[in-house]
Amino acid sequence: MHETMIAQSIVEAISKEAAKYDAKPIAARSSCGQLNPINDEVLNFAFEIVAKDSVCRGMTLEIVHIPLKGKCKNCGETFDFDIYSPGCPACKSNEFSIEPDAELLLEEIEFEDK
């Protein structure tokens, strides 16, 4: 469900750039925050189907999951937050804040050489 909508938005965004550069896209990379419930296999499957009827047909999509960042209130360390062992890895303090989850981004597109 969720992945299909995202796949559509990504295909639209890539198609727009492809028209701008008048080039055929062959690969793209997206990124999203750790808390965004995106399943890579489902997204890739949806992307393949949505891309079929567009300039994106046959291209590959990679999705990178960006870890949540914690910031220690005791020693100031910024670290990747691990929900299984929350705490500052440097000083072991449990006093820390969590930064907002990373946004869903279209990071880069690779086009076929002309």
The contact pattern for other proteins, residues 62-91, with x = CB under 8 A and - = no contact, is ---------------------xx-x-----
**Chosen residue from 19, 21, 74, 80 binding other proteins by CB under 8 A:** 21
The smaller minimum CB distance to other proteins, of residues 41 and 83, is found at: 83
Render 23-66 in DSSP notation, one character per residue: --EEEEEEEEETTS---HHHHHHHHHHHHTTSTTTT-EEEEEEE
The contact pattern for other proteins, residues 27-66, with x = CB under 8 A and - = no contact, is ---x----xxx-----------------------------
How far is CA 71 from each of CA 5, 33, 84, rounded to the nearest angstrom?
A: 33, 16, 17
Binding partner of 93, given Zn ion, other proteins, none, CB within 5-8 angstroms per partner class: Zn ion
DSSP conformation class of 13: H
